[in-house]
Each structure stands twice: as structure tokens, then as C-alpha cells.
Amino acid sequence: MNCQKDIQVGCLKPLKGNLMSKNQNVKKAMETAGKLFGDKIPETGASPVFAQASFAHVYGEIWSREGLDLKTRSLITVAALVAMDKPKELAIHLKGALNVGWTKEELTEVILHLSYYAGFPTGIEGAKVLEEVCAGSD
């Protein structure tokens, strides 16, 4: 394993020095979310307090980190949501995945592949969500 000496928890670099100011974080979050979802940030159903607390952190710090591009992060998120059987969030992130360049065919392959690891009922539900998202975008 190749971990640097300044790393405190496993192979994760400490985040404290990398934290942006709140305003920078919100701006970066809006830019990142805009690339995924366009001008309208999707409604997640989270309470306003929870949504505010998580949005800037998730999109401003996690999604915008160096090391993986936005398209790759999008596919990872889709895969995780399929495997966890989270259809509402999956629909949001499938739209984002399509917006950043994944095709319906590629996403279908990801869901099929995951079916062997997360279970066919979960994969079938993921495929249904993909069909609904694609039908709604026509």
C-alpha cells in the first residue's frame, strides 16, 4: 500500500487543510451540481436543514476533489445507489449520469453487472428506474 507519512486515518489525507470557506464551498457545489443536473437542483425530499448541511459538503468538497473526474464519480454513485436499492436517489443520479455523457446502454450494462453482486431483484429495480428516467427525458 502506498500511503504518505502525513496521512492520519488509513490512506485518507486529513481534510482540515483542504477545507474551503463556506462561500467558496457553496460556489463550487453549485458549479459541480450544475454540470450534473443543469440549472435546477433536484429535490431530494431531505429536510431543509439536512439539505443545506449536506449539499455544500457533498458537491463542494467530495464531488469536486481531484483524483476522479465528474463522469467517473457519477457512475460510482449510480452503482452504489443501485446496489443499495435507493430508487429515488438513483433517478436523480441517473439523470446526472446521462447529462455528463453516460449512455443508456452503458448504464444498462452497469446495472446488469451489479445484478450479479447486489442481487437480481435490486438490478431489476435499477433497470426499471433507468427506463422511467429515459422515458421522461424523451
Every domain of the chain with CATH number 1.20.1290.10 lies at 69-138
What would the CATH number be for the domain defined by 69-138? Answer: 1.20.1290.10
Amino acid identity for residue 66 in this structure: E
pLDDT at 4 over 60: no
Q: pTM of the predicted model, to two decimals? A: 0.80
pLDDT in tens, 13-66: 444 444 456 678 888 999 999 999 998 888 888 888 888 778 888 999 999 999
Under the banding of pLDDT at 50, 70 and 90, the label for residue 125 is: very high
DSSP for the chain, please give it: ----TT--BTTBPPSGGGPPPHHHHHHHHHHHHHHHHTTSPPP----HHHHHHHHHHIIIIITT-TTS-HHHHHHHHHHHHHHTT-HHHHHHHHHHHHHTT--HHHHHHHHHHHHHHH-HHHHHHHHHHHHHHHHHT-
Confidence (pLDDT) at 96: 97
pLDDT in tens, 56-110: 889 999 999 999 999 999 999 999 999 999 999 999 999 999 999 999 999 999 9
Confidence (pLDDT) at 138: 60
Taking the C-alpha atoms of residue 1 and residue 131, their distance in angstroms, rounded to an integer, is 41
